[in-house]
Structure 1
Amino acid sequence: MSKILNVHNLRKTYSSGSREITVLQDINFDIEERETFSIVGPSGSGKTTLLGLCAGLDRPNAGSVELCGTKLESLTEDERAILRNREVGFVFQDFQLLPTLTALENVAVPLELQGAKDATKKSKELLEKVGLGDRYHHYPSQLSGGEQQRVAVARAFSNSPSILFADEPTGNLDAETGEKVIELLFNLNKEAGTTLVIVTHDLELARMTKRVLRLKGGRIIDNSIAAAQ
C-alpha cells in the first residue's frame, strides 16, 4: 500500500521577543493510505502544530511534508488551498461551522467550491447518515454541541477526501456524546476508505486507531501499533 503522507526532518520554531522557541524538532514518520493514525502527547507537546504542518495550513522552518504525492513546500498558498479542498477533510474541536449558513449549506460548502452539481443531494445524504436528516435548515446556534460536531463530520466527508485530519474531535463534548461522534467518524471513514489522522489527549480514543505516534517536548518518543489492535 502506498504512502499518503511523508514527513521528513520537520522542525518548527516561533519567535518570542528575542527568544526562539522550538515547538517541533526531528519529526520523521509516514502514513499509508487508508490507515487510521493518532497523534498523542501532553499539552504543549506540538500535536496541533504538527497537524497543521501535515495539512499545509502552516509551513515548517525546516524539513518536508509530502501529502498525496505532492511536496507542500513547492506549492504557493493558493495551490495548497486547492490541494486541501480536493484531498483533505477536517474536523476541529470547536466545530468551525459558518454561523450564517444552515447545516445543509455548511456541509455543501466544500462541494460547491469544487463546482459539484449534486452538492445539495450529497449533503442531504451525509446529514441523514449522521442522524440529522431532520435538521437540514437549522443554523449552528439552533443545534447542540453534539449535533454541530455531527454536521462537521458530514462536511469533512462531503468532498470525498483522501485523508481526514481530526483535531481533538471530542474535546468540547461530554463523554456519551463524544462516543457517538467517534463511532460515526470511524464508520464513515471505513465506508469511504479514507486515511484518518486524529490528534487527541484521549488514550482510549488513540487505541482505536491502528498506529499511535507519541510526542513529548516537540519530539517523537514512540511510533507504534496501538495496543488495542
Structure 2
Amino acid sequence: MAKILNVEHLEKSYSSGSKTLKVLQDISFSVEERETFAIVGPSGSGKTTLLGLCAGLDRPDSGNITLCGTELNSLNEDERAVLRNQKVGFIFQDFQLLPTLTALENVSVPLELQGVKSASKTARELLGKVGLADRLDHYPSQLSGGEQQRVAVARAFSNGPSLLFADEPTGNLDAETGEKVERLLFDLNKELGTTLVIVTHDIDLARRTQKILRLKGGKIVAKDISASW
C-alpha cells in the first residue's frame, strides 16, 4: 500500500525564557493508507506536538512531512488549511463542539462552510451511524460526555477524510463509555476506509491498532511494536 503519511528526521524545539526545550528529536516513521496507527508515551514525551506537526498545524524546525502525497514544508498557512479541510479529520480529548450549535449543526456547519450542498443530509446520516438520530436538536450541554464525543466522531468523518487524527479520544470518558467510543471509531474507520492515527496514554486502545510508535523524552524508543506489546 502507498504511504499516506511520511515523516523524516523531524526536530522541534520551543523557547522558554532563556532556555530552549527540545520537544522532538530525529523522528522518522511512515503510515500506510487504511492503516491504524498509535503514538504512545508518557506525558511530556512529545505526542501531541508530533500530531500537530503531522497535521500541518505547526511547522518543524527541520525535517520533512509528506501528508497525502504533499510535502507540508512547501505549503503556506492557507494551503495547509485547504489540505486539512479536504483530506484530514480531527477528534480531540475535550470534544471541541460549539456550545451554541445543536449536534446536527456541529456536524453540518463545517460542511456548509466548505460549500457541500448535502451538508444536512450527510450530518444526519453520520449522527445516525453513531447512534444519535434522536439527539439531532440537542445542544452540547444537553448531551453526556460520551454523546458529545460521538458527535465529534461524526464531525471528524463528515468530510470523508483520507486520514483521521485522534488526540486522546477517550481521555475524558469513563471506561465503559470510552470502550463504546473506541468501537465506534474503529468500526466507522473500517467502513469508510480511512487511515487512523491515534495519540493515547491507553495501552489497551493502542493495542487495537496495527502499529504502535513509542516516544519518550521526544525520541522514538520503539517502532512498529506488535499488538502483543
TM-score in terms of structure 1 length:
0.98
Deviation at 1:126, TM superposition (A): 0.4
1:152-167 → structure 2 map (5 Å cutoff): 152-167=152-167
Letter in 2 for 1:39: I
Look up the match of 1:60.
Answer: 60
Look up the match of 1:146.
Answer: 146
**Distance of 2:19 and 2:213 partners within structure 1:** 28
Percent identity for Structure 1 against Structure 2: 76
SS of 1:209's equivalent in the other structure is coil
Deviation at 1:132, TM superposition (A): 0.3
**Distance of 1:175 and 1:168 partners within structure 2:** 13
Letter in 1 for 2:53: L
Residue 85 in 1 paired to residue 77 in 2? no
Deviation at 1:174, TM superposition (A): 0.3
Look up the match of 1:220.
Answer: 220
State how many pairs are aligned: 229
* Residue deviations 1:28-66 (CA, integer Å, cap 9, x gap): 001000000000001100000000000001111111111
Contact 1:85 1:110 in 2 (8 A): no
**Distance of 1:64 and 1:144 partners within structure 2:** 40
* Residue deviations 1:185-225 (CA, integer Å, cap 9, x gap): 00000000000000000001000000000000000011114
Contact 2:209 2:227 in 1 (8 A): no
Task: Name structure 2 gaps, 5 residues minimum.
Answer: none
Deviation at 1:226, TM superposition (A): 2.5
Letter in 1 for 2:222: D
Look up the match of 1:3.
Answer: 3
Task: Name structure 1 gaps, 5 residues minimum.
Answer: none
Look up the match of 1:99.
Answer: 99
> Which ranges of 4 or more aligned residues in structure 1 deviate by more than 3 Å?
none
SS of 1:191's equivalent in the other structure is helix
**Distance of 1:197 and 1:227 partners within structure 2:** 15
TM-score in terms of structure 2 length:
0.98
